[in-house]
Structure 1
Amino acid sequence: MKELVKKLVETYGPAGDEEEISRVIQTEIEDYVDQISKDPMGNLIALKKGQSADKKVMLAAHMDEIGLIATHIDDDGFIRFSNVGGVSPHTLIGERVLFNGETVGVVDKEGKLEKISDLKNSKMYIDIGASSKEEAKKKVKIGDTASYYRNLNDLGDRITAKSLDDRTGCAVLIKTLKELDQPTYDTYFVFTVQEEVGTRGSKVSAYGINPDLGIAVDVTLTGDMPEAKRMAVSLGAGPAIKVKDATVLANPQVKEMMVKLAKKNEIPYQLEVLKRGGTDTGSIQLTRDGVLAGALSIPARHVHSPSEMVDINDLKNSVQLLRKILVSNYNNLI
């Protein structure tokens, strides 16, 4: 699992530029599926045929990551930028970023900062080592995107890296697919694009698949750090079964089905009530005339920073629970 996550997180793929990470994932899964395709948005859709084709199940994990986008290059070769997704300027000073998977830059701010609240993207720039606009434009063009430039570090049971949101969800889907003989129903493993800029990929893919049941796998916040907001989710205590976030009230029957299977198979789990933020679950639920939808969330610290952190056991238990879900009879849920 760690080697798989390392491969995924160290692959370039900000929202809107998911081609490289899509190729890596496709190579991992193509020998384990019955059909694989891409839709016009770029969602990677893999079908694993089930014992019955009467119903359709959709699992979704987004393969895009937060990033930056070049908006201006000045005469001295410094690059101005905007954010792609939820990037806080407070995480950027001194940070290295990677444009187009190949050009490294360093983020810095203008002048002296009187107070941290004054720090804005508009007062920051990226230095790619160029001495002029002409030299910079040979490496970076307006509209090019950048991701954090960080490797994965193994801390034992915990790992830290950029883009664990949501490459860990992608890893869980990949491992589930590889360990799954045959699901009960036709199951679509969807690696979605542009989640970080408004769950756009899942809107399109869910509409095309029209599933009877949809489950998103993504990260969630924790309440187990100093002065953290109170939240009953901790690293290492098991995957979190979503009850609510800012975009969705998980279907109570789906939530209860997941809880029962976790208890029956002695898989540790937590319940997640997230006050802010959302996942692909929200857009899946609202597809066409509505879809039974839920989510399996991976507890993560320092989300949307260059050094997110998860517990590898939560990933392994997520795979176990997903496998049990996919081979169950769904308790007449669908």
Structure 2
Amino acid sequence: MNNQYSLLKKLTEAFGPSGNEETITAIIQDEIKNYVDEIKVDKMGNLIAIKKGTGAKVMIASHMDEIGIIVTGIDDNGFLRFANIGGVSPYISLGQRVQFANGTIGIVGMQHLDDIKKLKLEKMYIDIGAKDKQEAMNKVSIGDVACFYRSFTSLDNYITAKALDDRIGCYVAIETIKNIKNSPNELYFVFTVQEELGARGAKTASFGINPDLGIAVDVTATGDTPKSKHMAVKLDEGPAIKIKDHSLLAHPTVKNLMIDAAKNNQIPYQLEILEFGGTDSGTIHTTRAGVPSGVLSIPCRYIHSPSEMVSKKDVENAILLLTKILEKDIIL
């Protein structure tokens, strides 16, 4: 595998459901410590890395967490009942493997159903190979969490892995930190927690930082697969500049700043209208008296599955575009 993506492999394969981001924090902190002026972890667990400057205070948010499940009960035969952490689909989860923090692996199964359309998480269970309740309890406890268990794979021009939502945003932010030599702005790179539960980390971090401008770096859906829901975003066409999603109308100043940077540097880009979902910018823009905010999105197929997919070309152009945006003297 190309060493260029060895960091992304490490990030995506690591364990980090919402509220359990410590492993990801350690990986990122070790990677960026020599490229920033200050680094800290706040009370919520957000990792905040600062590149000092005298200009606008800019917050760049990428979330470290991934969707997962939480054990709610263990039956007499050793099967685990569970609930979701974030947007977990019962249909996508069925037959998948999950991994707990201690390395225990389980398979997601379901009760017998005459109509698969009635499949819900409460009709499902996790089989960890235990013969009874006591053996299962030696491996896991009620309240333990797990994430999908799947390896990073390079598919020539594409990448597929679990947790690209949003470890790919973290990767873009990390590589941008390394690329920026001089910026007139005060840059706060925030690797946030609990985005999948309502952008909780970004909410507290933005209140503490009180930025002049906010940019989330996250994935967005595409409309380029067979008979997909219409959406004017495709893999390989460049990073997407968000106009709207369920949580945000991008501020014109931020949107135009991003578009101008792409045009001035001949970087391909797409315009994104997402009719569902949201990002950290959804909470950043309503912080205190309000923060002009936008989103730089990486097009991604199969979001919230164990096999999310992005284009290497889009990732590289996202890094370039974010670098050019932040190197510019931002005047609000």
Q: What is the TM-score with the length of structure 2 in the denominator? A: 0.97
CA distance in 1, matches of 2:222, 2:5: 21
Where does residue 56 of structure 2 map in the other structure?
Answer: 55
Task: Give the one of 6, 31, 45 matched to 1:3.
Answer: 6
Which structure 2 residues correspond to residues 123-272 of structure 1 after superposition, within 5 A?
123-272=123-272
2:60 touches 2:215 (CA, 8 Å); kept in 1? yes
Q: Which amino acid aligns with 1:213?
A: L
Q: Secondary structure at the match of 2:33?
A: helix
Counterpart position of 1:310 = 310
> Cα distance, 1:237 vs. partner?
0.4
Residues 1:35 and 2:31 aligned together: no
Question: Is the deviation greater in 240-249 or in 127-136?
Answer: 127-136
Residue correspondence of structure 1 range 264-283 to structure 2 within 5 A:
264-283=264-283
In the TM superposition, residue 171 of structure 1 has moved relative to its aligned partner by 0.2
In 1: Cα distance, 2:294 partner to 2:94 partner? 37
SS at match of 1:183: coil
SS at match of 1:59: strand
RMSD of aligned alpha carbons: 0.9
1:172 Cα offset (Å): 0.1
Question: What one-letter code is carried by the residue in structure 2 that aligns with 1:262?
Answer: A
Verify the 8 A CA contact 1:12 1:101 in the aligned structure 2. Answer: no
**SS in structure 2 opposite 1:151?**
coil
Determine helix, strand or coil for the equivalent of 1:267: coil
Shift of 1:25: 1.0
Q: In structure 2, what is the Cα distance between the partners aligned to 1:94 and 1:62?
A: 27
Whole-angstrom CA distance in 2 between matches of 1:315 and 1:55? 26
Q: SS at the partner of 1:2?
A: helix
1:85-100 matched pairs, under 5 angstroms: 85-100=86-101
Shift of 1:58: 0.5
The answer as to 2:55 corresponding to 1:15 is no
SS at match of 2:284: helix
Contact 2:243 2:250 in 1 (8 A): yes
Q: What is the distance in 1 between the residues matched to 2:211 and 2:116?
A: 46
Letter paired with 1:67 = G
CA distance in 1: counterparts of 2:94 and 2:228, whole angstroms: 23
Cα-to-partner distance string for 1:197-250 (whole Å, 9 max, x where unaligned): 111000000000000011000000001011111111000100000000001000
**One-letter code aligned to 1:329:** D
| CA deviation string 1:69-126 (max 9, x = no partner) | 0000111111000000000000112110001151100110012x32222111111100
Match of 1:173, SS state, is: helix
Q: Tell me the distance in 2 between the aligned counterparts of 1:11 and 1:31.
A: 22
Q: Distance in 2 between matches of 1:257 and 1:92?
A: 39
- Runs of 4+ aligned residues of structure 1 deviating over 4 Å after TM superposition are none
Give the SS at the match of 1:61: strand
Q: For residues 3 and 270 of structure 1, what CA distance do their matches in structure 2 show?
A: 27
8 Å contact from structure 2 (residues 71, 143) kept in 1: yes
Contact kept in structure 2, 1:206 and 1:287, CA below 8 Å = yes
Number of positions where the alignment pairs a residue of Structure 1 with one of Structure 2:
329
Q: Is the 8 A contact 1:161 1:308 kept in 2?
A: yes
Counterpart secondary structure, 2:34: helix
State yes or no: 1:103 paired with 2:108. no
Q: What SS does the aligned partner of 1:207 have?
A: helix
TM-score normalised to the size of structure 1? Answer: 0.97
Q: Identical aligned pairs, as a percentage?
A: 57
Unaligned runs of 5+ in 2: none
Distance 2:115 2:320 in 1: 47
